[in-house]
Copies of this chain bind each other. A is one copy, B any other.
Amino acid sequence: MSTIRDVAEAAGVSIATVSRALHGLPRVSEATRQRVLAAAAELRYVASPSAASLASGQTNAVGVVAPFVNRWYFAAIVHSAEERLRKAGYDLLLYSLGTDAQERRRAFSGTLLSKRVDAVLVLGLHPTAEEVAALSALGGPVAIVGAKVPGWASVRIDDEAAARCAVRHLLDLGHRRIGFIGGDDPLQTAMPGARRVGYRAELAAAGLPGHPELEAVGGFTVSGGHAAATRLLRMADPPTALFAASDEMAMGAVQAARHAGVGVPQDLSVIGIDDHEMAELLDLTTVAQPVVAQGVLAAEMILAALHDPDGPLPSVTVPTELVVRGTTGPAPR
Residues of A that sit less than 8 Å from B by CB = 1, 44, 46-51, 53-54, 59, 61, 64, 68-72, 75-76, 78-80, 82-83, 86, 91-96, 98, 103, 110-111, 114-116, 139, 222, 251-252, 255, 277-278, 281-282
Contact = CB atoms under 8 A, between A and B. Distances in A.
Copies in the complex: 2
A153 to B, nearest CB: 21
A91 B63 CA distance: 10
Decide if the interface of chain A is mainly helix, strand, loop or mixed: mixed
Given A46-B110, A50-B115, A278-B278, 5 more contacts: A1-B115, A71-B75, A83-B98, A86-B95, A282-B282
Contacts of A115: 1, 46-50
A325 to B, nearest CB: 12
A252 to B, nearest CB: 7
A286 B74 CA distance: 26
A69 B59 contact: no
B93 A92 contact: yes
B54 A111 contact: no
Contact of A51 (B54, B68, B94, B114): B54
16 contacts: A1-B114, A44-B110, A46-B110, A46-B111, A50-B51, A68-B79, A69-B69, A75-B75, A78-B94, A91-B116, A92-B95, A93-B93, A93-B94, A222-B277, A255-B281, A281-B282
